[in-house]
Structures are given as structure tokens and as C-alpha cells.
Chains A and B, each alone.
Chain A
Amino acid sequence: GAVVSQHPSRVICKSGTSVKIECRSLDFQATTMFWYRQFPKQSLMLMATSNEGSKATYEQGVEKDKFLINHASLTLSTLTVTSAHPEDSSFYICSAFDRLLSYEQYFGPGTRLTVT
């Protein structure tokens, strides 16, 4: 149980285009989803907290207009990188949490974004 999927696992896009990454909780309802970014050989950096049906809360320094987060249902959150640039290339990981299920966050397998 408590499986989180991400799609796509890898994506290559051209500079200036937008990319959408999906995060799904497959067997539980996620009241909260988190989006992280991980640079090579570094730790995870929290980008934003997404609660179902409400606006995402962004961490300091994260551009909300560039990283659009939507959490329209209890099983799906999306991260859209708008007007992507090479510096947005990174590994993006989501996690999902259900306070009725557990105090744990369940992590997705990650999405490797490469902007050329």
C-alpha cells in the first residue's frame, strides 16, 4: 500500500516550453502533497506544499509563477514548469501524505527534467 507514482519519469524539452509533471497517490487519498527539487549530489529541497482544493504554499525563493502547482483531487497533483530554461534541469520528486493514514510522507520515483 501507499504507492505514489510520477509521470513522466524522464522528459527532455526545449528552452521556452512548458512541462507538466504528474504525481499520483495510487491507493490512498493524499490530503497533502509536497514537491521537491534535487540537484546532482545534493539533498532534497522543498519547493512547495500542496493541499487538496487550495492554493499551494511555496517555500522562500521559489517562483510561484514559474512552478505552477495544482492539487485538484485527492489523488493527483501536478507541477508545471513554465517557460523552462536549462537551469530548471533537475530531478523533481513528489511525496504524498494522508493524515488519516499515517504521519509518513510517501515518495514518488522522481522525474528527471532536462531542458536543452
Chain B
Amino acid sequence: AQSVTQLGSHVSVSEGALVLLRCNYSSSVPPYLFWYVQYPNQGLQLLLKYTTGATLVKGINGFEAEFKKSETSFHLTKPSAHVSDAAEYFCAVTQAAAAGNKLTFGGGTRVLVKP
């Protein structure tokens, strides 16, 4: 069984400030972890993913996330927010042992960037 919890359904940051989106997961087997971004009325775009290896992963648009097994976390950060980062962000997990298995999504975090 697997689950994902995103703390904070809404996050508001000022342009240029740090963006931190929290994601905690539970998985009975080694997880594959993903962060997706969704703009209004659009599908999901992959920001970054963790499978194996380096625990700090870098993605598109200046985002990065760190896999911390001991904390079962995969928080997403960006050092300096831009107005174009305003969107909905989803953390997701699947089981590494069965790649292609169903994704389980967190509830999402809506990011508002104040100019």
C-alpha cells in the first residue's frame, strides 16, 4: 500500500522568495517519487523524479527535491519564485518494484506568487 500527504493545500510566496512544498509518503517497498505541475485546464507536467541513486534531484524550471528515506519525505523547493510558478503542484508515488504500477497522488498544493 502507498499514500502521499502534501502539507498545505495553499502556499503563498512573494516573487523572489523561497518556495517550499512538503510531501510525505508511505510505501511498503522502495518508492519512485514524482513532482508534477498543473496549470489551469491543462494536464500534468513532470517537474522531477526520484528513482534510485542521488537523493537530491534537480528538475525543470529551477526546482529540486530531496529524498529523505528516514523522514519518508520528498519536499520540493525553488530558491526564487517567479510569477510563472503559480500553479497546482502534485507529489506522487509508485512502487519501484513494479514500475508502471499505479501512481498515488497527494492532494495537491496551490502556489500563489505575489509580485
A: residues with CB less than 8 A from B are 4, 6, 31-32, 34, 41-44, 46, 49, 91, 93, 95, 97, 99, 103-105, 107-110, 112
Contacts and interface: CB of A to CB of B under 8 A. Distances in A.
A104 B32 CA distance: 10
B53 to A, nearest CB: 14
Contacts of B51: 103
Contacts of B102: 34, 46, 49
Q: Which 8 A-B pairs have the closest CB atoms?
A: A103-B99, A109-B43, A107-B44, A107-B43, A43-B105, A110-B43, A97-B100, A43-B108
Interface residues of B, number: 23
Contacts of B44: 44, 93, 95, 107
B85 to A, nearest CB: 18
Interface of B: 32, 34, 36, 41-46, 49, 51, 90, 94, 96, 99-100, 102-103, 105-108, 110
B8 to A, nearest CB: 14
Contacts of A6: 43
